[in-house]
Structure 1
Amino acid sequence: MEIRLLTPTDAQDYWELRLEALKQNPEAFLTSYEEAAKRETPIDQVARNLSTAGNYTFGAFDGQKIIGMGTLLHESSVKIQHKANIFAVYVTPEKQGLGAGTGLLTAAIEKAKTIEAIEKINLTVNASNEKAKKLYTKLGFQTFGYEEKALKINNTYYDEEYMVLHIK
């Protein structure tokens, strides 16, 4: 398995995996599948995002096929430049448990450590996602907050935990 930083040439593959993620785990993402599917020129938008300064999206590959993804976003505003956020982490179900999630998060953490300004990394996780929380905790993240009814999908509420990893 290879973990690497995605480039604009990966936009189509990323977008297909993103749509899969939104369908498979709607409770894990703020964007709904329906909202994403309505976007005009989504591949162009993804390509722009993949080339935006401070946006580092990593892919996990099994051969040539992307099987996982995760994004580290460095905050650009002066007062919060010491923070980065990890979001949109997903590994296709049949490839879970093989180390892709660990590899993606480790790559994001290592990238953050190379950026002088970043002191901490935040992320949000569905409170009932025990596998993800176990992985984040194993990598050093700690819960610092909890939001009840953070998401509402088809009249079902989902709570979220806020986690942080201090790297400096």
Structure 2
Amino acid sequence: MRLEALKSNSEAFSSSYEEEKEFSIEKFENRLKEDVSFTFGAFDNRQLLGVVTLFMEKKNKLKHRANIAAMYVYPERRRSGIGRSLMIEAIQKAKEIEGIEQIYLTVVSNNKPAKSLYHFLGFNTYGIDKKALIIDHTYFDDELMVLFV
């Protein structure tokens, strides 16, 4: 799913398909084993439909912050509530972790459905990262969002 997401929606991720296509299964497995991150999946009859990852900051001065990354739902399953359910699970997990006060995420500025979902869930924009990504000589701005819990 990760490689498909990087290939089909390259503007939505700072990582690229070209960088990660040679990663071993063990590298992906190790990501799932990290003690400062939680990856949530949505399934239908054991078929993975979508994922999102919540990770905590490690540095003492930033330990009150969590981040949401790697949000992806297969295109044919979008607009079915899967993304909302995944985000709600990640937000709930962050609220259960002692000391977490705010949750950050970044979304490409032209992704209106994702931005709408994040605003619905209570995230607010606090900045724009101009020309955050460049893909095939095209720049994309990132919208920086935060939810105070």
CA shift, 1:102, in A, is 0.3
Q: Deviations over 1:18-73 (max 9, x none)?
A: 0110111000001111111122x2x1112111111111000011111001000000
Matched, 1:124 2:106: yes
AA aligned to 1:108 is A
What does residue range 40-59 of structure 1 map to in structure 2 within 5 Å? 41=24, 43-59=25-41
What does residue range 12-31 of structure 1 map to in structure 2 within 5 Å? 17-31=1-15
In structure 2, the residue matched to 1:159 is 141
AA aligned to 1:147 is D
AA aligned to 1:35 is E
CA shift, 1:147, in A, is 1.2
In the alignment, which of 73, 94, 98 is matched to residue 80 of structure 2?
98
AA aligned to 1:21 is A
In structure 2, the residue matched to 1:35 is 19
In the alignment, which of 59, 63, 66 is matched to residue 77 of structure 1?
59
In structure 1, the residue matched to 2:42 is 60
3-state SS, counterpart of residue 80 of structure 2: coil
Unmatched runs of 5 consecutive residues or more in structure 1: 1-16
3-state SS, counterpart of residue 116 of structure 1: coil
In the alignment, the residues of structure 2 paired with residue 54 and residue 117 of structure 1 have an alpha-carbon distance, to the nearest angstrom, of: 13
3-state SS, counterpart of residue 145 of structure 1: strand
In the alignment, the residues of structure 1 paired with residue 70 and residue 30 of structure 2 have an alpha-carbon distance, to the nearest angstrom, of: 16
In the alignment, the residues of structure 2 paired with residue 72 and residue 164 of structure 1 have an alpha-carbon distance, to the nearest angstrom, of: 13
Percent identity between the aligned chains? 49
Unmatched runs of 5 consecutive residues or more in structure 2: none
3-state SS, counterpart of residue 22 of structure 1: helix
Alignment RMSD (CA, Å): 0.7
CA shift, 1:114, in A, is 0.4
CA shift, 1:88, in A, is 0.4
AA aligned to 1:146 is I
Normalising by structure 1, we get a TM-score of 0.87
In the alignment, the residues of structure 2 paired with residue 80 and residue 147 of structure 1 have an alpha-carbon distance, to the nearest angstrom, of: 20
